[in-house]
Chain A
Amino acid sequence: MAQRFNKVLIANRGEIAVRIARGLRELGIGSVAVFSDADRRAAHVRACDEAYNIGPAPSNQSYLVVERLLEVAKRAGAGALHPGYGFLSERAHFARAVQAAGLVWIGPPADAIDAMGSKTLAREKMIAAGVPVVPGTEAIHDPHEAFAFAREAGFPVLIKAAAGGGGKGMRRVDREEDFIAAFDGARREAAAAFGDDTVYVEKFVVEPKHIEFQLLSDEHGNHLHLFERDCSMQRRHQKVIEETPCAILRDDVRRRMGEVATRAAAAVDYVGAGTVEFLLDVNQDFYFLEMNTRLQVEHPVTELVTGLDLVHWQVRVAQGEALPFTQDDLHQRGHAIQCRVYAEDPRRNFMPSPGLITHLTTPAGPGVRDDSGVTSGAEVPMHYDPMISKLVVWGEDREVAIGRMHRALSEYTVRGIQNNLEFHQIALDHPAFRQGTYDTQFIGNHLDELVAALDARIQPEDRDLADVAAAIAAFEADGPAPDAEAAPTPGADESPWRLYGRYKQLQRI
């Protein structure tokens, strides 16, 4: 089959840019990276065949500047553009601009993005298809009008960014008196993250599980689903752990949700990879939440359980290929779990912790995949998302996968910045996770308990051995660390022995 393109510009950064670059190289297609001033040393720049600077660190001066991206595509001779997730991936005007520039857009048709991007339009289509949706408003600007809806629907309510995703610009409000301040805050956050302060309000389903279905469609009218992901383990409305299959989803509900999801794709003539998100309540009734018209952060768990490479299929569909398999050919095999490694401090309400990664050791061995966007010596810039990597494991069943994830986490080391590796180990052991009953409020509701478990995890001997190691380091460096002003911090990846050697040299002079 004739190829429509043989070089792709990746309009993204971090782990997803690396992930896409890997997929392209596997398919023998050239890759073009773009990077901001803050990302010159980033892993994705090295993962691609070519790379171009597109401006200053703030994303609205670099990764979000359409003209700059198209200029680079032209200069590099790219025939297609992959938007990744976040940034411009769900902006229909960008998809149109890319196509107008003569490039293939590796994503759904702009009209499908429009249809699903407008949450009201998407809801209408779902209602027409007889799918239950959560009560909510359209885009709303007047805080008092929004407040009136919230009062009528009953608290708690959620305020969400219309252009949103990833929990940014999203607030849960439990009390009437907090509503106006939260509304204003959500608008500010939405404006900062997406350049669009439009928000809407919806009723909050209590104790919901977040269950989403992966979709894959081609240009020839084939719409398939690749089963569900349970993404209920969230903090600050952002996913932390994802798994598939969902441990408690009934087979009949899975089948119905899958059917509804593919119907949703067909209704908007979807092409490529996408995701339909549902809320699942305790009775396993489900409500359409939204459709994400892009590749998801958590796509690897689906890849491990279905055996399909979603980036490959995005590219092949964009080349015009028809999907060569049917729904009946697809099966869930074994169990997969993903832990998102964030630069954040779980003990301080997951406060972001940008900075220099002095050392990174990533796990390997059976059934382990690390989709990372950083390396030792990398700076996690304050300008972007705090996710640095995704640790994914596969096991023949859920029990095996959990054990494997524990083992992989024990091999993982991130130093220099706060991170949530320990938190994952605690969360995996909680009875609610073991039973699979956790809902999207789990972390928020159990934060104190989880933090206490973090502290309890540290054995007295661990403390002692930390002391022993630090004392030996001090011994070899012959003294304490210098005052901050007195001397520069030794470089990353420096061994105590080398410090010792340098000290000895100084002594000889």
Chain B
Amino acid sequence: MSQVKTFTLEPGTPRARTAAVELLADGEGSRRYRVTLTPEAEGAAPRTFEVDAAALPGGLLHLLTDAGRSVTVGLDRREGGWTATLRNHAFDLDVLDERAMRRRSLTGGKGAQNAPELRAPMAGKVIQVRAAVGQEVQEGQSLLIIEAMKMENDIKAHRAGVVEAILVAPGDTVATKDVLLTLA
């Protein structure tokens, strides 16, 4: 039943690594896997875990490691990967399979940091727009105020640039990731 699939985690970042997953055994209520994590950075050693994994209701995966550690991980789908939650910490992980990695290497990965769009980090209501089209802005400069849950939140420029277009006006309701304005 041995079958290995390889995934790339957080591709295109300094922390990129591959995870080779092998199903070792199908047990009563759990499955055994061997997972080898190999950082892409040079000089970093691969780490291999043999774990007994029990899937529980609620998107929970209980792991027993070969060192005897017992830990429950919550798993939620996210765009392009999974969020793994353990010890109250949520790890947002991009996870690509081999096919997706090949596709990605053809198109070339693009980061969001240099994108022209400033997007809403939360859902809320636009209270104030502090920038004007054509204005030159610095990274970190406050450009809008969005009210969410009765608190005002400063929305700051994600990079320096010139305001090209403003797509929202005071009073507008925005959803998470909506484009607020664009920078040239």
Contact of A358 among B53, B59, B152 (CB under 8 A): B59
CB distance from B100 to the nearest CB of A (A): 5
A residues near B81, Cβ cutoff 8 Å: 470, 474, 480-481
B150 CB–A CB distance under 8 Å: yes
Q: Is B110 an interface residue (CB 8 A)?
A: no
A358 nearest CB neighbor, chain B only: B76
Stretch at the interface among A138-146, A239-247, A396-404, A460-468: A460-468
Query: Of B55, B82, B147, which contacts A474 at CB under 8 A?
Result: B82
Residue interface mask A445-484, B partner, CB < 8 A = 1: 0000000000001100111111111111111101111011
Q: Is the CB of B150 within 8 A of A189?
A: yes
B179 an interface residue at 8 Å Cβ cutoff?
Answer: no
Answer yes or no: B79 CB below 8 A from chain A CBs. Answer: yes
- Bound CA–CA A469/B82 (angstroms): 9
1/0 contact trace for B55-80 toward A, CB 8 Å? Answer: 11111110101000101011111111
- Within the complex, which residue of B5, B83, B152 is in contact with A185, where a contact is CB–CB below 8 Å? B152
Does A174 reach chain B (CB closer than 8 Å)? Answer: no
A442, chain B: closest CB distance, angstroms: 20
Task: Report if A26 contacts B (CB, 8 A).
Answer: no
Q: Determine which of B17, B33, B151 lies in contact with A472 in the assembled complex, contact meaning CB atoms within 8 Å.
A: B33
A416 to B69 Cα, complex, angstroms: 25
A window 258-311: CB within 8 A of B: none
Q: Which residues from B are CB-within-8-Å of A462?
A: 86-87, 89
Q: With a CB–CB cut-off of 8 A, which chain B residues contact A359?
A: 58-60, 74, 76
In angstroms, how far is the closest chain B Cβ from the Cβ of A479?
Answer: 5
Q: Which of A176-228 contact B (CB under 8 A)?
A: 185, 188-189, 192-193
The answer, yes or no, to whether A367 is at the interface (CB within 8 Å) is no
Q: CB-CB < 8 A to A409: which residues of B?
A: 88
Task: Give Cα A193–Cα B149 distance, bound, in whole angstroms.
Answer: 9
> With A466-B93, A495-B58 given, is the CB distance from A352 to B53 under 8 Å?
no
> A466 to B121, Cβ gap below 8 A?
no
**Closest Cβ–Cβ distance, residue A426 to chain B (whole Å):** 10
Q: Does B127 make an interface contact (CB < 8 A)? A: yes
Q: Do A351 and B153 have beta carbons less than 8 Å apart? A: yes
Contact A475 B76 (CB under 8 A): no
Given A359-B59, A385-B149, the answer on whether A415 and B74 have CB atoms closer than 8 Å is: yes
Option from B59, B88, B93, B100 in Cβ contact (under 8 Å) with A495: B59
Interface membership of A121, Cβ < 8 A: no
Question: Which residues of chain A in 404-421 are interfacial with respect to chain B, using CB atoms and an 8 Å cutoff?
Answer: 409-410, 412-413, 415-416, 418, 421
Chain A interface size band reads 35 or more
- Interface mask (B30-50 → A, CB under 8 Å = 1, otherwise 0): 000101010000000001010
**Contact between B100 and A480 (Cβ–Cβ < 8 Å)?**
yes
A interface secondary structure, majority: mixed
Query: Which chain B residues (140-177) contact chain A, with CB distance < 8 Å?
Result: 147-153, 176
B residues contacting the other copy or chain, number (CB 8 A): 63
Q: Is the CB of A465 within 8 A of B71?
A: yes
Quick check: is B183 within 8 A (CB to CB) of the other chain?
no
CB distance from A63 to the nearest CB of B (A): 12
The answer to whether A472 and B61 have CB atoms under 8 Å apart is yes
Given contacts A465-B63, A490-B77, contact A472 B21 (CB under 8 A): yes
Cβ of A136 within 8 Å of any chain B Cβ, yes or no, is no
A461 to chain B, nearest CB (A): 8
Question: Which residues does chain B contribute within 8 Å of A457, judged by CB atoms?
Answer: 87, 89
- By the criterion CB–CB under 8 Å, are B121 and A481 in contact? no
How far in angstroms is the closest Cβ of chain A from B24? 12
Most B-side CB within 10 Å, residue of A192, A410, A461, A472? A472
Can you name 6 extra interface pairs (CB under 8 A) apart from A192-B150, A383-B149, A415-B90?
Answer: A185-B152, A412-B88, A463-B91, A467-B35, A470-B81, A480-B96
A-B contact pairs, 15 of them (CB 8 A): A352-B149, A359-B76, A412-B88, A415-B76, A415-B83, A463-B91, A465-B73, A468-B37, A470-B19, A470-B82, A470-B84, A470-B93, A471-B95, A472-B51, A473-B82
Point out residues on A near B: beta carbons under 8 Å.
168, 185, 188-189, 192-193, 236, 343, 348, 351-355, 358-359, 361, 376, 382-386, 409-410, 412-413, 415-416, 418, 421-422, 425, 457-458, 461-476, 478-481, 483-484, 489-490, 492-497
Counting from the closest, the 7 A-B pairs by CB-CB distance are A471-B19, A469-B73, A466-B84, A466-B91, A497-B55, A475-B21, A421-B88
Residue numbers of B with Cβ under 8 A of A are 5, 7, 9, 17, 19, 21, 23, 33, 35, 37, 47, 49, 51, 53, 55-61, 63, 65, 69, 71, 73-91, 93, 95-97, 99-100, 121-124, 127, 147-153, 176
